[in-house]
Amino acid sequence: MNGQERLGDFLQARRAQLRPDDAGLATYGDRRRVPGLRREELALLAGVSAPYYTRLEQGQSHKASPEVLDAIAGALRLDDAERAHLHALANTTKSRRPVRPPAERVTAATRELLAALGDAPAVVLGRRSEVLAWNHAGHALFAGHLDPAGPEHPGRRPSMARLVFLDSHTRELYADWRAKAKAVVGNLRLTVGRYPDDPLLTTLIGELSMHSPEFAALWADHRVQACDVADYEMRHPLVGSLTVTQQTLHLAREQGQLIVIATAKPGSASQLALTLLAQATAPGNEETTSVSDTRRDPSFRL
């Protein structure tokens, strides 16, 4: 799918999700054959001509000005993240040849940051949600059933998006799995808008759509969500139920790379659980038997 098609699909999906009542339009009881606003109604709200908006939605118009895009964003009632996504899609409507990007690497500075976090679970993710690195606590919390050395081998790196949608262990890990799934899809939408020519990212979206009906449904919804901070109740097989705050930070100078850090309220039972998990899974601790010991397969990749 090229940039024109992505832009058109996004506009059409968001227009269908906006009811006339939401936009303050009178319907006079007319029967609508399609959900949401009509194209001419959206064009009226945005202050552009209906033929122009139709061409834009059909991918036949290029170089929409920032002012026009802002007007359309206002008519669609987009939030800041969705507005930025609309601009990103519009700026990539010209067809370009996909270029396979170089393999992502973790810098020495990022590894020093991971080490400085100590027992706070942390994971470094690439633009396609691949795990580029994790500390021992991050591995234990998020994917203790996988080989801890996986991120060191590009061909075996686990993908957090694949784990959330295709891995039963990760699905059971989140009490509200759907909330986590929606956050993953929302962030992937933003990433696709920023890197539309990444063929490996396109492959990931296609694979998830094929193997996960839930992903396909969420992806078709075209919701955009910048999920930088969120609380999740997790049901860990070693330490039981705990609630953590997952914060996502963008790494300076590393285009597309993120670090996800999990914390818990000071003095809470969840913080104690994180401490126990870090101690139980610390390197060199051979006295603790983990459920992952019998399930871990070095060749397994998600």
CATH code: domain of residue 11: 1.10.260.40
Pair (83, 118) in one structural domain: no
CB-CB contact of 143 with 137 (8 Å): no
* Structural tokens at position 43: 């064009």
Query: Is the domain of 227 the same as that of 279?
Result: yes
266 vs 14: which has the higher pLDDT:
266
Last residue of a domain, one of 62, 90, 118: 90
Give the closest residue to 62 by CA, choosing from 41, 92, 36, 38: 92
pLDDT band at 228 (very low <50, low <70, confident <90, very high): confident
Q: Domain with 195 in it: what CATH number?
A: 3.30.450.180
Q: Sheet holding 131-134: strands in order across?
A: 131-134, 122-125, 258-263, 240-250, 229-236
Among the candidates 90, 125, 142, a domain finishes at: 90
Split into its structural domains, the chain has a count of 2
Provide the pLDDT for residue 255.
74
> Is residue 196 in some structural domain?
yes
- How does pLDDT run across 89-103, given as a tens digit for each residue? 777 655 455 556 667
Average pLDDT for residues 203-222, to the nearest whole number? Answer: 91
Q: What is the pLDDT of residue 27?
A: 61
**Residues 85 and 149 grouped into a single domain:** no
Assign 198 a pLDDT band (cuts: 50, 70, 90). confident
Domain residues for 54? 3-90
pLDDT tens digit string along 113-129? 999 999 999 999 998 99
The pTM score is 0.73
Query: Within this chain, do residues 132 and 206 fall inside the same structural domain, yes or no?
Result: yes
Q: Are residues 81 and 168 in the same domain?
A: no
pLDDT of residue 123: 97
Looking at the structure, tell me whether residues 277 and 167 fall in a common domain.
Answer: yes
Same domain, 227 and 263: yes
Average pLDDT of span 228-232: 93
Average pLDDT across the chain, whole number: 83
Let me know whether 113 and 75 are in one domain: no
Specify the higher pLDDT residue, 211 or 96.
Answer: 211
Q: How far apart are CA 18 and CA 23, in angstroms?
A: 7
Q: What is the pLDDT of residue 300?
A: 40
DSSP string for residues in 80-93: HHHHHHHHHHHTT-
Residue 43 sits in the same domain as residue 150:
no
Residue where a domain terminates, one of 90, 124, 154? 90
Residue 41, SS3 per DSSP: helix
User: Residue 44 domain-assigned?
Assistant: yes
Q: Is the domain of 239 the same as that of 281?
A: yes
How far apart (Å, rounded) are the C-alpha atoms in residues 95 and 1? 10
Helix 39-46 to helix 50-57 angle, to the nearest 10 degrees? 110
Residues 185 and 86 grouped into a single domain:
no
pLDDT for position 53: 86
In a domain, 302, yes or no: no
**pLDDT for the residue 70:** 86
Buried b (16+ CB within 10 A) or exposed e, 67-106: ebbebbbebbebeebbbbbbbbbbbbbeeeeeeebeebeb
Q: Is residue 95 part of a domain?
A: no
> Is 73 domain-assigned?
yes
CA nearest 246: which of 145, 169, 176? 176
Average pLDDT of 125-143?
Answer: 94
Phi, then psi, of 151 in degrees rounded to 5: -60, -20
265 lies in some domain: yes
Residues 167, 279 within the same domain: yes
Residue at 254 is within a domain: yes
Convert the pLDDT of each residue in 240-263 to its tens digit: 999 999 999 988 776 789 999 999
Residue 52 belongs to a domain: yes
